[in-house]
């Protein structure tokens, strides 16, 4: 069933501004709500607002720049006209910050429902619906119910009136788990804890030693700083690619430390980009050109280092070691794909290889580094071969 979204953005916060414009994760609450709705598959996304101040209009512009179109309306009748008759509407109350996970499965529901929180002191600011429950600020509404409510609304508050109509019609009440409750915010301080939980939840899998134990603090620090900027995740991927290619070029000129420094600077950027994409509810595309080119460009840097060493005292062995290491690394990558059980923190990765080069560089042992990378890539390849063979044998015997 098609899913639309209706978001309230007309109530004032404690300072006299719109609750929808409270800051959250470097943007505004309304942007977070709209991104949540889009992530849940809702379209169209309609925002009920009495007036559109400059800051709210700027929020709409930023959303459109990211491919999320929101439609502001000033009354219930206009809101109802934006939805098809048989559509379900995800209704998000004014000032409500819902966890993304709470909305993720709602598109699978095919009947109206009201998500509730307990009627107790911690939830006293939520709207009471009966003696035991209050409205969490999230509900699924039928478009027909929205249309009929808007027709008889008058000066009444649309979400509250619509909620009462749903309850009278027997809408299903679904309690929200404590750990997944929405937040009802009336000031910026109330959103700070919610923002910290979003940042914590955005931590991605760290599949190698470098990302888990060395780059993790830098990744966390950079993510917290960049979330408040206009830096786009794709820009970071492009920067990582440019640095990697720059490192390869530096090796061709004999600027070995400069090339290694560029490669080191590139290592956390794709991790940070992925975190920003998650926080802004717009995950990176798996087929991003910049992202897919990081691996071959790192291989190019390895080959250019081998080429420089081979022509400056190390002979053909350095280039052979670099080329063979690159081949083993690619073979390992191909073998790993159908056998994810073989992935280990210590096995070959772009980040592991780059950071492992530092102690060799400190002693000027660049050719020894190439031989070491050859051994590292070969060991990882034979390990994944061993694990893959064992998994195949177990599947065959069972």
pLDDT, tens digit, for every residue of 183-222? Answer: 999 888 989 888 888 888 888 888 899 999 999 999 999 9
Cis geometry, peptide bond prior to residue 44 (ω within 30 degrees of 0): yes
Q: What is the structure's pLDDT at 286?
A: 67
Residue-averaged pLDDT of the chain: 90
- What is 208-397's CATH superfamily? CDP-alcohol phosphotransferase transmembrane (TM) domain (1.20.120.1760)
Q: Tell me what the mean pLDDT of segment 219-236 comes to.
A: 91
Range from 170-174, 264-268, 279-283, 336-340 that averages highest in pLDDT: 264-268
Is 3-190's fold the same as 208-397's? no
Give the confidence band of 119 by pLDDT, cuts at 50, 70, 90.
Answer: very high
Query: How many angstroms separate the CA atoms of 165 and 142, rounded?
Result: 11
Q: Is the pLDDT of residue 343 over 90?
A: no
Q: Which of 70-74, 97-101, 167-171, 387-391 has the lowest mean pLDDT?
A: 387-391
Q: What is the structure's pLDDT at 66?
A: 85
For the domain with range 3-190, which CATH number is right: 3.40.630.30, 3.40.50.920, 3.50.50.60, 3.90.550.10? Answer: 3.90.550.10
User: What residues does each domain of the chain span?
Assistant: 3-190, 208-397
Q: What is the structure's pLDDT at 398?
A: 58
Give the confidence band of 282 by pLDDT, cuts at 50, 70, 90.
Answer: confident
Q: Is the pLDDT of residue 1 over 60?
A: no
The percentage of the chain sitting over the pLDDT mark of 90, rounded to a whole number, equals 60
């Amino acid at each position: 069933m098609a899913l639309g979204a209706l978001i309230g953005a007309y109530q004032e916060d404690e300072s006299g501004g719109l609750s929808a414009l409270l800051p959250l994760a470097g943007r505004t609450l309304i942007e977070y709500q709209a991104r949540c709705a889009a992530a849940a598959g809702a379209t169209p996304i309609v925002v009920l607002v009495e007036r559109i101040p400059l800051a709210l209009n700027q929020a709409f512009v930023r959303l459109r720049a990211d491919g999320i179109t929101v439609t502001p309306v000033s009354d219930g009748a206009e809101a109802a006209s934006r939805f098809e008759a048989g559509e379900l509407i995800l209704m998000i109350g004014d000032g409500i910050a819902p966890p993304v996970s709470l909305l993720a499965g709602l598109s699978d529901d095919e009947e109206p429902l009201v998500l509730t929180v307990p009627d107790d002191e911690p939830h006293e600011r939520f709207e009471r619906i009966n003696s035991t429950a209050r409205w969490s600020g999230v509900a699924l509404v039928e478009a027909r119910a929205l249309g009929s409510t808007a027709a008889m609304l008058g000066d009444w508050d649309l979400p509250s009136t619509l909620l009462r109509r749903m309850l009278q019609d027997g809408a299903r009440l679904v309690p929200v788990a404590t750990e997944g409750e929405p937040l009802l915010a009336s000031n910026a301080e109330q959103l700070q804890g919610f923002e910290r939980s979003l940042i914590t939840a955005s931590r991605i899998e760290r599949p190698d030693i470098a990302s888990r134990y060395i780059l993790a603090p830098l990744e966390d620090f950079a993510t917290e700083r960049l979330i408040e900027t206009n830096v786009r995740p794709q820009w970071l991927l492009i920067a990582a690619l440019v640095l990697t290619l720059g490192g390869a070029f530096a090796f061709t000129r004999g600027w070995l430390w400069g090339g290694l420094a560029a490669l080191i600077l590139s290592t956390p950027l794709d991790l940070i980009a992925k975190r920003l994409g998650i926080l802004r509810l717009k995950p990176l595309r798996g087929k991003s050109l910049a992202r897919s080119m990081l691996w071959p460009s790192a291989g190019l840097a390895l080959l250019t280092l081998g080429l420089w060493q081979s022509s400056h005292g190390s002979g053909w062995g350095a280039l052979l070691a670099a080329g063979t290491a690159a081949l083993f690394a690619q073979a390992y990558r191909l073998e790993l794909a159908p056998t994810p059980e073989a992935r280990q923190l210590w096995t070959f990765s772009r980040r592991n290889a780059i950071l492992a080069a530092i102690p060799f560089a400190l002693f000027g042992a660049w050719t020894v580094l190439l031989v070491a990378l050859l051994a590292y890539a070969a060991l990882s390849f034979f390990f994944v071969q061993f694990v893959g063979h064992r998994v195949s044998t177990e599947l065959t015997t069972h």
